[in-house]
Structure 1
Amino acid sequence: MKRHVPSPVAAEMPTKKAKIVETVTEQQSQLEPTGDEQEWTKVEKRKKKKMKKAEVKLDTSQPRFMYSNAEITKRNHAVGIEEIRDLALHIIADAPPPNWLRVENADKIPKVVAVLIPGLTPEILSLPPLPTSAMSNPNLPISIPLPPRAEPGTTQPGVPFIASTFSHACPTRAPGDHMRMHSVLSTFFSGPISSTEKKRRMAEREMSEIFANRDPSQYILTLDQMVENDYPIPSYMADVFQKSPGWVETPEQPKESLLTPDEGKPKRKIYSIDCEMCLTEDGKELTRVCMIDFDTGIVVYDRLVKPGKPVTDYLTRWSGITAEALATATTTFSEAQAHILRILSPPSKNPFSTGKSPPETPTPILIGHSLESDLKALKICHPFCIDTAIIYHHPRGRPLKPGLAWLTKKWCNREIQTRGEGGHDPEEDARACLELLQKKLIEGPSFGEFKTDYESIFERMSRSTRRAGGGVGSIKSAVVDHGNPHMMHGNKATTSIGCTNDEEVLKNILEAIPSHHFLFARFMALAHLQGWVTPKASQDVPPPEPVPTPTSEDIAAAATTLNTQLKALHASLPPRTALIIFTGHSDPRRMSALNQRKNVFENVIRNGTAVQTLQPAEQWSTSDSRSLEEAVELAKRGLLFLGVKS
């Protein structure tokens, strides 16, 4: 395997050619393999001379990376995650070139593969720590020594693939402020829009304001939005959702009612709905459903629902359901589902009526927050849905979604979900959705939208030409990640594949490489092993058990597995593929622990507790703030490795 050397570039003078440290290549052997045989054959000198000339000519067009030390030295901070994102966009699409790195022959690079490996530390790689001396610049690329040659039959420790493949490790800095680190994934997968796209969006907003009206149907989700947000889709809209036993769908509205003139046609009723769930032996089951009429504010249906299987966790912290409350429930799931379906279904005609039929009552609209979850709880497919998590925006833009409590506080100036461990009240949540829709109808479509002017990198790619050749829309992208990337950072990619472990990540990325131009994968085993990943407790994710401290043998075994996976990935790449490996950040645990302690202190004070009554360990001081700032800066440190497959 040839080792890629991204040559550091000396300070570039305006009138002089930059001094470049050329790639060091190994001497060619006198014996070279033939193309057809797995044997070594001697190459005649005349032929060898011609081959060397051809190799020199080929090498001049070989893509390569060269760090600009002069530019990096001028910086206050290390290379940011957003700059790694922009580098990928420059290579594969039409983004401008970076100033900290020169990319030669970028148009000869057919693919970009970006791999995020949190938990891959300098210690595991046997790299020296980043310099902290005032005489040294901590942002400059670090030279990686070649790994020692392994004895026959032995395995090299650590991840020797990195040292064998890359000559330098470039320090990076994760996003955030002085008190917290922001998401590496969100930063990598979203970026600022171009000036042309900004003008287009401004014109679109102006037109929407001009033609703004108070018709709530303008906020009904499109089919694409429903698919993108994992809604259960009625079969008459699209054959994309496979209904399991027990599922039902709202009957299709008769076609003639769609052709009836608007005059005299009844308005669509709107109902707000919210459901609560508990865990049973069969998984999550419905325990309460509340439905409110938008026009009257009257609760049309509110029932506790008796689960079909024994309850294993009432999820009281979120559902508000207790064993005592559920003991009084007599309504079964089938009864609750049938009642909701009757409310949502158009009334059937009397086939024996001879008089003039009244206008068809149109199918009602359902509104909720992340409404797809409520529909899945009810096992109902419905065509007309409004989702407050979509018509209102998260401050940091898509694909993040705002929480209902935050939206209600921000735009309605009132608080909900304040019962703490007592959980949520579905009627309260349903009324909050109604109020948010009312605000939207009064203020206009742009109300509740943050003009962040950011977009997914996949939206950017979809409007771009491919640098290596291909018109607009020709860039095929793939995200292979843990969890469900389709619902988050991969929701605009051509292909998005969710995995449960690194073995699945490797398998799926290998299958995706031939048919895609930009690919992203994330290996998480090292981060999980070291306790870096703490899933946020929620209705779907119970609080995790503490992760035991891994032994050095555990770390070594995980590193060896990762090394094998990276070698397999590299071997599958076509020639001239750009390989970008980055770690994102360092150990976040101290930062997280300090932030948690700070939040507890602030909540206690907010509730009226006097500082003097707190124990020293419960208080928060200026010294603690300094410790937090230091922990945040340490957590933001990461490493970047750049190479091109020869």
Structure 2
Amino acid sequence: MAYVASNILKSDSKKRKVEVIITKGLPDRKRSRIEAKCKRKAALLSLLRGKQVLEKEKEINEDDSVKNKKGKNNVLVNCLPDFMSGENKDSVVSNIKALAKMQQETLVHMKKRQGTPELLLKFPALDISETSTDLYSKSEVSPPLFLTDLQQLLLYATIGPAASFKPRWCQLKNSNKVSSTFLIVLKSVSLADFRKHKECFPNLIKHFKQAVEMISPTQFGNTAEEEFFRVPVSVNHLWKLGVTRSKGKQLMAQSLKKERDVHPVKYAGPDAFPRTLLLLNPLQLAQENYPLPVKTENDCYKEYVFSQDTYEKVTDQSPLFGLDCEMCKTADGKNSVTRVSLVNEKMETVYDTLVKPKYKIIDYVFQFSGITPKMMEPVTTTLQDVQHKIKSLLPKDAILCGQSLNFDLDSLKMFHPYVIDTSTIYNLSGFKNKKVGLKRLTSHFLGKEIQCGNQGHSSVEDASASIQLVLLKLKHSLEFGDLALYSGPLIDCDWKIPREISSESYAIHGNRKYFFNAGEKSIYRSFFEILTENEKKSLMIDREVVTHFYENEPMILESKTTDVEAVATAQKSLYNNDFTWLQLNGFHEILHTSPDTHGIKDCFCMLDSQVGKLLESMFSKMMVAVLLTGRNSDKYECENAMTLVKIT
């Protein structure tokens, strides 16, 4: 029989009531559970009460450390209920001591962690150790990263939550504890150079444990500084980044005027604003993991094809097509496309076909795909057949619409430059990175129910819903259906519409220029202006041929003629700035002299030595990144970039 006895423990500040359950005649398992619960409650109470008593006894016995130590044990014992047996008391006291020790260790560890910034990669890093023979993990492959990914990390490390985006490729804990950021750029040095001449970079290997491959900006006709110092923002995200409504409308008007000047077609029809303003820009395509026609060391896109042989420039008159795919799990461990549907603006199904995967289907995932074994028995259409058909159906300036269309294009193994993603143009949560499913969007805005019942999804239905959502937004405004556009403090700021990348650049030959030439699709902010707004100091150390482009920027400029002078200046300025850009041009300058292998190795050793001197001079809690920019090795090939990053 069980009964409850209550004991009131008195304190100077308040009374606490402890219920102690004493068991007799209960089954062993039930009794042990009750006793354990009793011990936990008693231990918790003792810790809470003991903390107050310890503080008082510490004041009394501050000159007698031994007595004070004994006092702690007495406090723990005296806090226990008087009616507990001696054996139980000993057990509880032992537990209390262990808990107190664990609590103290945890507090010390937490305090230490809270004061130190920590960088954790979300993607597999390159193995840059001296003993490694392959930079890549055999089990994991990192998705393509761009220089804007590094830009976002350093911006977030410098100004914290005031940055528009958190880096997608890593997690920075305690960003407010980062003392300053420092970027060292080795111009024209590539990942391939590092891999081939690893013995020339002992300081990089010694000081850095984390490194990632990045797409060299030379692949799309930019330099590292041009790519890094422009912070891209799509026009439809102006309000998300805190721009005043009047400023946003002014910029929209400017973009519309520019569009009409370039394409003097009378703007008419149901659209309330140009549909090109909803297109994902290059940064957003990368952030949303869309397949992009870039060259990587692991050649992850070697089987992908363009959606057109040639493209035309997108305009506000370009046609919209809804695209959706259904997937099944196949023997290669991946989700393979088994149905493809394409719908035009008139809600006409222009293409709908089942697709036979390359590998055997092991799970039809019927509740989602709606695909059955019987449906797939007569199918002979291959993925290559679908790719050719889509090429023949789409106009050269077609805009594809869909919900998280990156998964569909990835399964189709196709590149397409003009995309409107309904998961990014609608937002019901008010949070920038929280997406809402197509089913809920369709129900909320179109008043229709899709993906109902137990017969799986219909790709025709989903494609139609996506294009209807896009058309609905085009009838209203950029803000329509996007609660996040109203979040954040409103400030006024200067924005820049960039020059177009020259289509003649050999680095962006063929169709690739349509993916990276964002002049029509985006506006940019200056990296230095953002830092200045947040009261951060900036320093740029480079050759005069680079610094003269930034004379009007709000920062300190130092033009140096040699790398030795540049490094010396950087060492003197370590404590004076929140962000420092240092570009070493030694290797870039000797490339024009066609150096032999010995000359190349000497140059790499010199660069590594200079970087080593800087790293030895840096103080605690600095975020340091070393960027190997990569370069074009011939007319069409590109050697990619590599970024090494650490917190000192």
Normalised TM-score (structure 2): 0.38
Determine which structure has more spread, i.e. the larger CA radius of gyration.
2
TM-score, normalising length: structure 1: 0.38
- Determine which structure has the larger helix proportion and give its number: 2
